[in-house]
Amino acid sequence: MSVVSYFTLSLYISALINLSSGYIFILAFHLNAKKRFEMARIIAVVNLNLYLIVMNYMEGLRAGEYLLYFPYFLVMTLVIDVKKNFTELKFVYLITIISVLICLNVSPFENYYQVRIAGMFARLYNSNLAISLTLTTFFSYFIFRVNRDNEEAILKEKHFVDTIYNTSLDGVLIMDAEYRTIIGCNNRACELLQIRNKTEIEGTPIEHWFTSEHINLFKSIEMKLASHQARDWQGELALTSNEKTFFAFVNMVPFLDNNRRFLKISILDLSEIKTAQFELMKAKQKAEEASQAKSRFLSNMSHELRTPLNGIIGTSNLLLQEEYLADQKSHLDILKYSSEHMMMLINEILDFNKIEVGKLQLGQEPVDLKKFLEKISLQFGAQAHAKNIGFKTDIDDNLDIEVLTDETRLNQVFSNLLSNAIKFTHYGEIVVVARKIFSTSQKATIQFMVKDTGIGIPANKQQEIFESFTQADVNTTRKYGGTGLGLAITKKLVSLFHGELQLESEEGRGSTFHFTLKLSISENRKRYINEDKVKHLCMFPGVKVMVAEDNAINMSIARRFLTKWGIEVKEAYNGKQAVELFGQNKFDLVLIDLEMPEMDGITALGEIKKINPAVPAIAFTAAVYDDMRADLLRKGFMEFVPKPFRPEDLHNKISILLAANSPA
């Protein structure tokens, strides 16, 4: 509007100033769109003040350009947030007032610098007055709209907060900390305190609603919060109101409003939870009493049943050893078998009960694993052959170790699995597999399998058979008998060994039960040496060998054989000592344990190879893992000897390495 007026009056300089100012406003608008609000406001304020100073000077005060200060003062309160940027607003007002004073003192009343036209100042004044009134009206309306929208937003927010406040599961009381009166509460608080309307509680002293014990507690808490000893307080209380007692979790938080202290008391009703806990405790007590009664019953019944069974079994054995008629043999066999079967069932039930109540503890005794598996094979191999089915074993040669475990319970696991395999297999074979998966000097991870070519188990029954008193089929129970406890006990026993019994089976084609155990290796195993094999081995006169081994017993055994073969032995008890010893002496061969303190065997060999890259090295190790030979060859060893070692095996490897390393 101003530019049109300027062109009609030939005020081209004023039009140019107006358009330049407009371009600067476009820059401020662009910065505002880029969320650079502070810079946009600075440019807009400076631009507008400079524009009004220059225009008032170029046209004179009579033209009325100063009238635009009225909408300008109005719009500043809209552009600048009074609450957040009050200091900025004061600064802008100060700049504007200074600009007004400059305009009034510097600008002439009339200025004919651009052009002299009759009635020019009247037309300019009327134009600026119209623009000023229009802008003032527009900004006033806009401010009114913004305030109305803000009021609606505040009301909506208040309604939203009130909705959350009144639908909360917590009862909330707002207490005036100075006068100790309740000034507000939510609907849930009314329900807990059994009042119909909030007006019944608002404005009342807190003593009207809580016991003196709770009032004293609130006072002490409020004092601590007032002295800033605590930020808030929370805990469980048994609250009494209107002759109703309920358990609640109470949280108290202080806050300030208009410099007055208030206390927000949140109350969460725990009555149902406490009731459920009480019922759970009663149920637990009943279950424990029932379990104890069951244990006592089983113990008593065990004693009562075992006593006559002992007599029956003993008598049947005596009768079988004495003279009897030929036709009585079958009756005596039935008597013996039935009584022994009865004893087995009693033992299974007692074992299962012990496992369930957690009273079964595993022992830790040294067991020669290979001999243990051989005994199992002999025992059940005879039963399998009697039924005309094959029985094979696949036992890893590396299982010639002594482990710490419970032999009785491990035997029970294999007995249950092999008894089932023999029972449910009519043709084909049964295979017992034992493989060492991984081992260190302290632990051995071993996988055990029992395979059969029996009737198999349907896929939908493979989980059920591990449950108590369950078999795959009712017809199976009728045909083969049994209580269904064997596999349940076996699975629980394997879990006590920290393993998991798993099944792979196909109906009509057989089953494979397998589990993996991590067993501790006995460090005090007795080593049995076949002296006949050792005494005829050839000698190695003049050969010097370094042995690096941290275990004194293993070192003693190795030294004994090496010196018996005429070898001069130097000893190192850790990797660091081995490197130092090798640097001080010349050796034909080194025998290094992989696991040693200070420095492990592989690192030690790396340092030794820096001194003499051609020295033959044998790894002395209890570890077993896949591709071990290839891995050790990559790390510089030429051979390895597993622990416990066979003397003839060690002698053979020393012979080969010395022959390969000797000059042609």
Give the closest residue to 109 by CA, choosing from 65, 56, 60.
60
Q: Quick one: pLDDT at residue 603?
A: 93
Residue 234 has, within 13 A of its CA and on its CB side, a CA count of: 8
Torsion of CA 270, 276, 277, 281, to 10 degrees: 160
Helix (H, G, I), strand (E, B) or coil at 215: helix
Question: How would you classify the pairing of strands 510-521 and 443-452?
Answer: antiparallel
Q: What pTM was estimated for this model as a whole?
A: 0.42
Whole-angstrom distance, CA of residue 71 vs CA of residue 520 = 91
How many angstroms from the chain centroid is the CA of residue 53? Answer: 70
Which H/E stretch holds residue 446?
strand 443-452
Phi-psi region of 498 (alpha: psi -120 to 50; beta: other; left: phi over 0): left
- Residue 210 tokens read as 């809580």
10-residue averages of pLDDT along the chain (664 residues): 76 82 86 86 83 82 79 71 66 81 83 74 82 83 79 74 71 82 84 80 80 74 68 73 72 79 82 80 81 66 62 68 74 70 64 61 83 85 87 86 85 86 89 88 87 86 64 46 66 88 87 92 58 66 92 83 90 92 92 88 92 91 69 89 77 88 66
CA distances to 172, 568, 586 from 580, rounded to whole Å, are 77, 18, 12
Q: SS3 letters for 334-367?
A: HHHHHHHHHHHHHHHHHHHHHHHCCCCCCCCEEE
Whole-angstrom distance, CA of residue 189 vs CA of residue 206 = 13
User: pLDDT exceeding 70 applies to what percent of the chain?
Assistant: 80
Whole-angstrom distance, CA of residue 569 vs CA of residue 560 = 10
CA distances to 312, 355, 586 from 303, rounded to whole Å, are 14, 19, 73
Torsion of CA 484, 486, 488, 489, to 10 degrees: 140
How many angstroms from the chain centroid is the CA of residue 278? Answer: 31
Q: Beta strands of 152-258 (E only): which ranges?
A: 171-176, 181-185, 233-241, 244-257
Q: Quick one: pLDDT at residue 203?
A: 85
- Residue 551 tokens read as 């275990």
Give the closest residue to 248 by CA, choosing from 259, 237, 263, 234.
237
CA distances to 10, 18, 126, 131 from 5, rounded to whole Å, are 9, 11, 11, 11
Residues 6+ apart with CB under 8 A from 503: 457, 462, 465, 511, 512, 513
Contact 590, 545 (CB under 8 A): yes
Whole-angstrom distance, CA of residue 372 vs CA of residue 381 = 14
| Residue 156: Cβ-neighbour burial (10 angstroms; 0-12, 13-18, 19+) | exposed
Query: Tens digit of pLDDT for each residue in 94-133?
Result: 888 888 888 888 888 887 777 777 678 788 788 888 888 8
Neighbours of 380 (CB within 10 A): 21
Contact 159, 208 (CB under 8 A): no
Q: Quick one: pLDDT at residue 482?
A: 47
Q: Quick one: pLDDT at residue 471?
A: 47
Residues 6+ apart with CB under 8 A from 103: 52, 53, 56, 57, 61, 66
Helix (H, G, I), strand (E, B) or coil at 239: strand
CA distances to 162, 446, 659 from 439, rounded to whole Å, are 67, 8, 31
Q: Quick one: pLDDT at residue 132?
A: 82
Whole-angstrom distance, CA of residue 250 vs CA of residue 240 = 13
* φ, ψ for residue 261, nearest 5 deg: -90, 135
Type of residue at 342:
M
389-420 burial code (b ≥16 CB/10 A, e <16): bebeeebbeebebbbebbbebbebbbebbbeb
Whole-angstrom distance, CA of residue 359 vs CA of residue 285 = 19
- Residue 221 tokens read as 């808490």
- Residue 428 tokens read as 């084909």
Query: Tens digit of pLDDT for each residue in 17-44?
Result: 888 888 888 898 888 888 888 888 888 8
